Each structure stands twice: as structure tokens, then as C-alpha cells.
Amino acid sequence: MKIKIVLILIGLSFFSMFGREENISFASDAKKYVVGFSQATITEPWRLLFNKELRIEADKYPEIELLVRDGLDDAQKQIADVEEFISRKVDVILISPKVAQDLTPVVNKAMDRGIPVIVLDRDLSNKKYTQFIGGDNKLIGRTAGEYAVKRLGGKGKAKGNIVEIWGGMAATPAQDRHSGFAESISQEKGIKNLIQPKDGDWKQDLAYDIMAEALDKFDKIDLVYAHNDPMAYGAFLAAKDMGREKEIMFLGIDAIPAEGIKWVHQGNLTATFLYMTPGAEGIRQAMKLLRGEKIAPNVVLPTMIIDSTNAAEILKKNGLL
């Protein structure tokens, strides 16, 4: 009896050891990659969609372990998040920086440590990173400016008073959206920008306050150009509260179907301009890199104009109408 028990124990020990060796061998064959993503904030609907699309794409690759960190709209928090990724020696870092200047040094540090970095949406102060993915914000601003000129009377004849509400003034998208817009309207002597640059920081409530102040100061405002849809909608609400919304055109940027495009369809915004989130493409490009494929230094995402001519069609395609 004692002999049988000893043999059983030896057998169990053998199979246990064999199982552990088999698992170790299997794990070594199935390469896992750790991808760290540092998001600037999740207080904006566009960024929530950004995160959602990134996670959906990452779920397609079982070899990816995705670490997502929220920068809480604070550059110092975002720096700490990237420092964490560096200390953990992740395989790739994805980052959408809150501001260029503050986040550039820590991205440079990651690159110096041999960790590739893919920058999403907002650029940095230098080009020391592996790849940039985002929309052409200058082109989007220029397109918005051309649209404004057309709606205000056409090239060489356009007339009107404009209020421009900036996104984060230290962020490269806001700077590019302004400069592109300014290029288009600068040749039109009949167009006047009524206010000095005011930072709405991409927030609806701040844009409301900026617009309320402008409405109080100026009797005639023909068009509002806001650097994203929530700010354009905030400006619309301010005008509505003063009974002046029907005399003003409102232009925004982002074109999230359940937000900006819905507001266009409802007649609250005149137009919005598509700014695709780079989340899904960021994961696709990271996987190419991890598989040893070459990736381009820049990936430019497409844009389009959405106004009353096509808003309903897009909503229908998205099951929202």
C-alpha cells in the first residue's frame, strides 16, 4: 500500500513538472507585446470616441497587452504616465499630448531608451519620434475658411463679422486650425474678426462664456468659427439664450455622428468638418512596427465637409436616423 502511494505521488509530480515545462514552452512561442497609450484627457466626447476606437482595434490582436492612461487634462500627469511606460519597458508608446512643449522631453527620453513612440493627433516641438498620425489641421482650417467665405458672399465679395473661438492655444491643432482659417479669409477685405484670440480649451462651457461676452459687446455677428463642435454648440447656446441664434452661422470641427453631425442635422450648427480619431490607425501602425514592417513617418487622415446637404445621409448610415 505504501509503495502504491509513493508511485502515485511520483506520477503526479512528474505530470505536474511536465505540465509546467509545456506551459513555459508555449508561452515562449506566443510573443506578447505591451503597448502603452497616454491620452491627454477624456473630458471631451471626441476623445472618448478616440479611446473606444483604439480599444476595439486592439481587441483584434490577442498578442497585445494594452495599457491606457488618462492624463486628466494635466501635462504633468501625462509626463508621469509616459515615465511609467518607460520604467516598464513597454514595446511601443502611443501618445496624444496635451501640449507640445511640455511633453516633448519625455517622448525624447523614451526614444533614447529605445522605445518607439507614435504621436497621435497633436504634434510635439520636435520630430524625435517614430511616427505621427492625425488629420491635417491646417487643411481643415483652410477648408472651413473657404466655406465661410462662400457662405458670406463668395470670393472677392464676402462680407461679415466673425468670432473665432480657439481650442487649447498651446496645442498644435488649435494653432493649425487658426492659421489655415486665417489663410482663407485674409484676402477678403469685407470679413472682420471681431475678437482677440480667446482660449475655449475645447470646452463647451468656456465657449459659451466667450460667445456671451461677444454677443454683449457686438450687435452684429454673422459667423462663429470654433475649433471643435462642442465649442461651436456652446456658442450656439449662448446666442440662443439671447434670441440671436438665427442670425448667426456656426462652424465646428470633429463631426462625431452623435454630436456634431446631429447638431448640423438639427440646424444648430451650419457645418462641421471631419477630424477622424487616430486611435484605430495607431494600433494598426503599432502592430506593423512590432512585426518588423517599415512604417511611414506621417499618416494623414482624410477630412470632409458635413452640412445640411449630407448630414442626414451620414446619420442614417450610423443608425442614428
Give one DSSP letter per residue of 170-209, joined into a string: TSHHHHHHHHHHHHHHTT-TTEEE-S---B-TT-HHHHHH
pLDDT on residue 107 = 98
Q: Which amino acid is at 38?
A: S
Same domain, residue pair 283 and 236: no
Range of the domain at 289: 29-135+278-301
Please indicate, yes or no, whether residues 176 and 255 belong to a single structural domain of this protein. yes
> Given a cut of 50, is residue 229 above it in pLDDT?
yes
CATH number at residue 159: 3.40.50.2300
Say yes or no: 175 and 227 in one domain.
yes
Tens digits of per-residue pLDDT, 281-301? Answer: 999 999 999 999 999 999 999
Question: Which of 64, 56, 108, 70 lies closest to 86, judged by CA?
Answer: 108
Q: Look at the block and give the residue holding cell 505521488.
A: 9
Is 16 part of any domain? Answer: no
pLDDT in tens, 162-177: 999 999 898 889 999 9
Instruction: Of 187, 151, 173, 139, give the one whose Cα is nearest residue 271.
Output: 151
Structural domain count, the chain: 2
CA-CA distance, 56 to 296, in Å (whole number)? Answer: 23
